[in-house]
Amino acid sequence: MALADVHFEVNSDSLGEGSHSALNMVVSLMEANKDYILKVSGYADSTGTEEYNKLLSAKRALRVQEYLIQKGVPENRIVIAAYGEIIPPSEENTGTLPANNRRVEFDLIPIHKP
């Protein structure tokens, strides 16, 4: 799932205004679901080069991971991935905003216990 309230500015990994309340909901979700790990996937718009966007998307995922850890989510329950500008939620050339592609997405993955 992508949270529309987690925002990033162009060429930035800083969490935008309003992002903290959305991420606090993720913290609550992780507290309520102890048998899951969280995959945080970072993305970027196509403003920069493909290589730059891959690095920027990694920084965004790391920034979210840092926030979640500071709020008490154990580091070993968070994995990150960086996808750069691939897999956009919407095609920028159809008139949708590039801001839609400056995002992180979250996946809950069950922990398989023996």
Domain presence at residue 90 = yes
CATH number at residue 87: 3.30.1330.60
42 within domain boundaries:
yes
Task: Answer whether residue 10 is part of any domain.
Answer: no
Q: Give the type of residue at 82.
A: A
State which residues form the domain around 65: 35-100
Residue 46 lies in a domain: yes
- Tens of pLDDT, residue by residue over 54-105, are 999 999 999 999 999 999 999 999 999 999 988 766 555 445 566 677 889 9
Residue type, 61: A
Q: Which residue has the tokens 């939620």?
A: 89
Is residue 74 one of the residues assigned to a domain?
Answer: yes
pLDDT of residue 14: 92
Q: Where are the beta strands (DSSP E) in the chain?
A: 36-42, 78-82, 104-110
Q: What is the value of pTM for the model shown?
A: 0.86
Residue entry with tokens 């500008």: 85
1-10, 16-25, 104-113: least confident range: 1-10
73 in a domain, yes or no? yes
Give pLDDT tens digits for 14-57: 998 789 999 999 999 999 999 999 999 999 888 889 999 999 99
Q: How many domains does the chain have?
A: 1
pLDDT of residue 64: 96
Cβ-based neighbours of 90, under 8 Å, separated by 6 or more: 96, 100, 101
